[in-house]
Chains A and B, each alone.
Chain A
Amino acid sequence: MLIQAHIQAHQHVPGGLMPLLHAIQDDIGYVPDAVYPDIAKALALSVAEVHGVVTFYHHFRTHPIGRHVLQICRAESCQAMGCGKLEAELKSRLGVDYHQTTQDGQFTLLPVYCLGNCGCSPSVMLDDEVYGRMDTEKVSELIDEVCHG
């Protein structure tokens, strides 16, 4: 029902597909493929086009994920500043590998290639916020904060 409201809000906007997908993901955390036909119909696109756009952009997720998303930057500057150690430690702390969600459904761990925060490497992004100069201890504090706050 909610998804229908998003579709209605965006169907007449030129180039409205991306903002629509964004709104859906913001709402429920991912874009379920079951809604492709409705979107396609409303925006006069084929289901394949909708599928193509969803899978093209790293931002869109096709499956439900944890309540929070932790992304670790693995690009040049962060590598130089030791993100390799950070990712190994966080994986073991959370007990998951990249693209997996912790058993309690709290965190999904994702790799990311440059957060544009290279001046403060190593960087991570927790939900919508970027944090620089990180180490395992500081990230653990952030994790505790979002779990209890």
Chain B
Amino acid sequence: MAKTSSTLANKKTVIKTDLAGQTLVTLRTLTEENPAALATYEKLGGYAQLKRLVTEQVKAPEIISQVKVSNLRGRGGAGFPTGLKWSFMPRYYDGTKYLVCNTDEGEPGTFKDRDIIRYNPHQLIEGMAIAAYTLGARVGYNYIHGEIWQDYEIFETALAEAREAGYLGENLFGTNFSFDLYAVHGYGAYICGEETALIESIEGKKGQPRFKPPFPASYGVFGKPTNVNNTESYTSIPWIMEHGGQAFADLGVPNSGGSKLFSVSGHVEKPGNYEIRMGTPFKDLLAMAGGIWKGRQLKAVIPGGPSTAVMPASAIENATMDYDGLSKAGSSLGAGSMIVMDDTTCMVKTLKRLSYFFYEESCGQCTPCREGTGWVYRIIERIVNGKGKMEDLDLLTDLSNNISGRTICALGDAAATPVLSFIKHFRPEFEYYIQHGKSMVDGK
């Protein structure tokens, strides 16, 4: 019956999204009545892969090779090949190894992982348990974004169900494989999505990123080898184990395997999460989301979250939604958080808000990021207040180039990218604002 998905967290307003045209991998329980329940997931073959791999004692290299074949790339935004990352974990190690799931998604416009823990928490748990078995991790944490309390509870309930059913805990399926998984609360800091900041936060410290290398695979939680993956990455694993790496790769295009969740928001008729095959044309995705609202024109798209470059309509209209497709078109896939802007959007004001976000969220460790993001924000604010000068545009570009690549973590680059791309593609709008002291778009 209920062939609908919703992206909302409360009983009062639920928006429905037609499932037609989607390829459900990580949200496959959405076709069922009670998507988050253990019984639902088991009915769809859930936990069978974990049980098979563990009871048949399938060897780690065999599992890792399937993950490599699948072409699964990290869904947290960086797109690092998951199979390759797994192969970095030390095989023989006398001590606790850890597994961490990154459900911090704090980037504006990103809301896919919350739907996974809300509608299909067991597939995530199974994916993590398979990873733990493969990598020899004894303890796992799922670090969940601070503002989503209701979803946190759904995940806690699923954990309890899985423990009760013998999918988590000591000596699983009568073997010597044991795995404990815990939920950890984030506390509303965007930077804690960066994997090493997240690790510091799990340890009970300020979420300030560490230098990489060493990568978490050699120095992670409490200094122990740790594998960090995004929620959607782990949740893809049971499907890959069931159907084989090749089948997953075949869902997508070369270099981008699988289905991928896209969070579509902004000026569309039907915002929400859409799970579609990698390589789907942008136009099809936009059509699924109901097209631009109120019959207006498309102006620009931020395809992968604010840390990816903005694209004018002309650049994205013929692009495909996959790693290579978007990078050829001048941006990147990021976490698949697509923010759509119609022709009434003032790019200058939009950039002001984005730059405030990065300024506010900088952890303050590196001078270029801490000071640079503040300067960028103040200059754009000055422009918006009608006090901008023409030189400001070059100054902004220069400042951003000096943040990029000179910091401990990628937040510095993430902050510079919008500034550079907004000015590059919408320079006349910025110039108009400076000359007239008001927006070319809304006249205010």
Question: Which residues in A have some Cβ–Cβ distance to B below 8 Å?
Answer: 14-19, 22, 49, 52-53, 56-60, 74-77, 79-80, 112-121, 125, 128-133
Contact = CB atoms under 8 A, between A and B. Distances in A.
Given A17-B205, A57-B146, A120-B15, 16 more contacts: A18-B185, A22-B185, A22-B187, A56-B189, A56-B207, A56-B208, A60-B187, A75-B108, A76-B306, A76-B353, A77-B265, A80-B266, A112-B147, A116-B110, A116-B111, A132-B10
B201 interface: yes
A117 B189 contact: no
Contact of A119 (B12, B271, B341, B357): B271
9 contacts: A15-B204, A56-B189, A76-B339, A80-B265, A116-B145, A118-B271, A119-B264, A119-B265, A119-B272
A53 B205 contact: yes
A58 B147 CA distance: 11
B273 A132 contact: no
A57 B111 CA distance: 21
B111 A75 contact: no
Contacts of A17: 204-205
Contacts of A18: 185, 187, 201, 204
A119 B263 contact: yes
Given A18-B201, A116-B145, A120-B7, A131 B339 contact: no
Interface of B: 7-10, 12-13, 15, 105-111, 114, 145-150, 185, 187-190, 201-208, 222, 263-267, 271-273, 302, 306, 339, 341, 345, 350, 353-354, 357, 360-361, 363
A131 B10 contact: yes
Contact of A74 (B187, B265, B353): B353
A128 B185 CA distance: 13
Contacts of A114: 106-110
Nearest to A129: B10
A117 B111 contact: yes
Contact of B147 (A74, A116, A118): A116
Nearest to A134: B13
B202 A15 contact: yes
B207 to A, nearest CB: 7
Contacts of B357: 75, 113
Contact of A130 (B9, B110, B202, B222): B9
B253 to A, nearest CB: 26
Nearest to A127: B149
A57 B341 CA distance: 31
B10 A118 contact: no
Given A58-B187, A59-B146, A117 B353 contact: no
A57 B189 contact: yes
A76 B15 contact: no
3 interchain residue pairs of minimum CB distance: A119-B7, A75-B108, A57-B187
A113 B110 CA distance: 12
A128 B204 contact: no
A131 B13 CA distance: 8
B109 A76 contact: yes
A88 B315 CA distance: 36
A129 B363 CA distance: 27
Given A75-B353, A133-B13, A117 B8 contact: yes
B401 to A, nearest CB: 24
Contacts of B222: 14
B174 to A, nearest CB: 30
Given A57-B188, A59-B187, A125-B147, A116 B105 contact: yes
Nearest to A15: B204
A116 B208 CA distance: 22
A75 B339 CA distance: 11
